[in-house]
A and B are shown apart, each in its own frame.
Chain A
């Protein structure tokens, strides 16, 4: 690992942190991090903004298989309307059917629009902060939710092994996990964040990131705090399991204080009401607080639209689009926009032809979005053909691992070939 891409350079630590280093065995990991943060300031990098090591990736997972063709609308292709007589979204200059409205214009020349519910993303596009990657998928597509999601999360077409983000950390962490390196807002941590060494932390809401025993009786709080904040007890050997647990317990208390305080602070901007917006609001609060976290993971479900999809799909898209727009606004207010990109994906797209229930069944390739002030905005790549199909499904144009590779290489400055176990054709989406 080159130390240039390590969040807090060890050599810098050695140079400036002699006093800190001697403390290192007795202070909790969490405080060490803040101490190391101080070292970055000593090195003339207040806040460290602008450095590659300070960059943050937010992964937004759309669960269930998002219908790509009704997300980015190929209104220039007649076959689209033939395949989707009742659920096709009319062109921007077309006539609205019912309440759905017409596509929002993305690219007149290419005949591409956005789902009318994606006003949030349309705003980001107009601001030059949205990259649309067309036809993203992988060879021999798997149409099982489980397997295809695992394929995306492991970046392995056999759906085997650790998560790709976990491997990114494993590759940069010198054998010791980075505390709070990755945080997932959700019930359980996704496979993507699971490495051999690096394990994610996850919580559904900041209020659950604490001991609930004190709700039984307030008198329990004091002794609980004493016990869990005591650190390593005097008679405990440094290398023992007990010492490890005592240290982690202290880290957990400090982490809980910090995360709950950060999330409890009012945001700088206003947010829409939805689960995904709430998750992104938590992420923005943690970024504002200066957590050492490199990767955040949020997710939204509801994309498995087998029937009557126009309304439900529109609702899901509106929530995520509005949430992402609000997130970007909040980052701008924090002056953190240049440090953060968000990547939106789903485990697969859906079949070209709609089914008899006004929905769509599991398909293959679909567009991805990458958002941020540092991404090359615009539409990237070619739309997959709607006539040259693989038994009714789109043929992918861009391997998703090429997108990961570009983000790893250009944004996180990590060796993608090593992490992904190979090289893939890339679309360059990060500004130099």
Chain B
């Protein structure tokens, strides 16, 4: 039954619309030309291109791309000076110290803003969209926030960790995340010592990162897990296992007994059936369907099949993602347009699929923040709720307005966005419809633009509304008219779906 749920789409059913769906979901969309290429090479190769992205050359991220020195801990010499100032209660020296700390924090905030722009650009430009999309998934899954840790380099390191394991092995990533300085700081594990255990990481590890709330563990398991994680801390930018602070006693965790350390604790968790099911459920919401409510019988069967696949591959993600993106169910009508675009998806997909100018990266970062998704600043350890929580009456306008900005460069008055006069050449979107004389038939051009931007067949009413507008503006579908049509289609409520 489970194998059935994942049965592949017949090759011949993988058409142009299916290719658009695949590009949107496994990445951040693509141009009409890219969709046609994928449709032409067929389902298997198309999925391979996206999932086995190592074959796509991509610029490696240098480990020293960002400055690791801004928030570096004080040197011994500085420490001694600081201590002296405190002991003698030297107000002047203490005030100077505080000012120096604030100066560094100011620099670091500038760097985190640079990091946001850099990641936005990478998502827009990458030839490996799934790599960035899974990095974004993990950022929301193992959510860690800059506001708490105030160390942009640690956020960068964590971002790199997610990229490295994007479609790798979930279990291995879990073992790395309990060694990640940003995470250790965010969930207070740097203060978790056998003499005064701190349960924060152990709790969230089970509740949010692996098993899901209430799935097979007790408060006692959290306490024991916290002891297993004692001494897991960091120095500068690297993990440090402080054996002096580690509790070596025998622990009982979910029916297993042993002298567990953090790895042992994780192994007990990862062996549980609930873990694969929980991860499968989250990936399902992220890639397949995020309609709220209890999953249907069909959805449950699909999620269970995903979980089985994950267990069978010992948490390797590639076989699972390959199976999901190849499955007939993924392409079924119920799962088209069934996800509300995250602010990042909306923005990056608009640039990648329409090929608008990027305009100002800082404006795009600011726009995603206004829409509720400020990367590196998730609202809390649960990450972003996603789905319908993205949408309210004010974010609806911001979503429509950021598209106006991308299409036209028009600086909306009073937004802190830069005006941009780079023209948008939109004619490539209808190139394949050109008649021998170079013109594009208005009716077929508009039908196509709606189908492409909405990633599904437009409703007759919408088509009629846009057509009436376009016809009132003349007979030719030139660049200006294409942009005007796009301004309308991207303001359709359905445009928020992918």
Contact = CB atoms under 8 A, between A and B. Distances in A.
Asked if chains A and B come from one complex, the reply is yes
Interface of A: 143-144, 146-147, 150, 159-162, 179-180, 187-188, 191, 194, 196, 199, 201-205, 207-213, 215-217, 219-220, 222-224, 226-228, 230, 233-236, 239-242, 244-246, 248-249, 251-252, 255-256, 306, 353, 355-356, 361-362, 391-392
A245 B497 CA distance: 9
Given A212-B404, A392-B91, A226 B465 contact: yes
Contact of A245 (B381, B385, B391, B410): B391
Contact of B91 (A199, A204, A353): A353
Kindly name the residue among A235, A246, A252 whose own CB sees the greatest number of chain B CB atoms within 10 A: A252
Contacts of A244: 388, 391
Query: Which of A194, A209, A244, A256 is the most central at the interface, judged by chain B CB atoms within 10 Å of its CB?
Result: A244
Interface string B45-68: 000000000000000000000000
B337 A223 contact: no
B379 A191 contact: yes
B414 interface: yes
B205 to A, nearest CB: 15
Contacts of A219: 469, 472-473, 484
A220 B484 contact: yes
B323 interface: no
Contacts of B392: 179, 199, 201, 248
A213 B401 CA distance: 7
Contacts of B98: 143, 361-362
Contacts of B404: 211-213, 216
Interface stretch (B167-175, B211-219, B485-493): B485-493
A249 B293 CA distance: 22
Given A191-B379, A209-B397, A255-B393, A233 B461 contact: yes
A208 B396 contact: no
Nearest to A356: B92
10 cross-chain pairs, A with B, having the tightest CB-CB distances, nearest first: A245-B493, A201-B394, A252-B393, A249-B493, A223-B469, A252-B396, A146-B147, A246-B493, A255-B393, A355-B95
B401 A211 contact: yes
Interface string B375-391: 00001110001001101
Contacts of B94: 392
B422 interface: no
Most buried by A among B340, B396, B487: B396
B487 A213 contact: yes
Contacts of B466: 223
B150 A144 contact: yes
7 contacts: A201-B393, A234-B461, A241-B291, A245-B496, A246-B494, A251-B393, A361-B98
B488 A216 contact: no
Nearest to A150: B147
Contacts of A248: 391-393, 396, 493
Given A209-B394, A306-B99, 9 more contacts: A146-B150, A147-B148, A160-B380, A194-B379, A211-B491, A212-B400, A213-B400, A216-B408, A392-B89
Contact of B394 (A196, A202, A234): A202
Interface residues of B, number: 64
B332 interface: no
Interface in B85-99: 89, 91-92, 94-95, 98-99
A258 B266 CA distance: 54
A241 B393 contact: no
B398 to A, nearest CB: 8
Contacts of B391: 244-245, 248
B369 interface: yes
With most chain A CB atoms within 10 A of its CB, the pick from B94, B293, B466 is B94
A207 B337 contact: no
A160 B385 CA distance: 16
B464 to A, nearest CB: 10
Contacts of A180: 393
Interface string B66-110: 000000000000000000000001011011001100100100000
B146 to A, nearest CB: 8
A410 to B, nearest CB: 29
Contact of A223 (B465, B494, B497): B465
A201 B98 CA distance: 36
A201 B393 CA distance: 7
B462 interface: yes
A170 to B, nearest CB: 12
Contact of A212 (B148, B410, B459, B484): B410
A240 to B, nearest CB: 7
Nearest to B472: A219
A275 B261 CA distance: 55
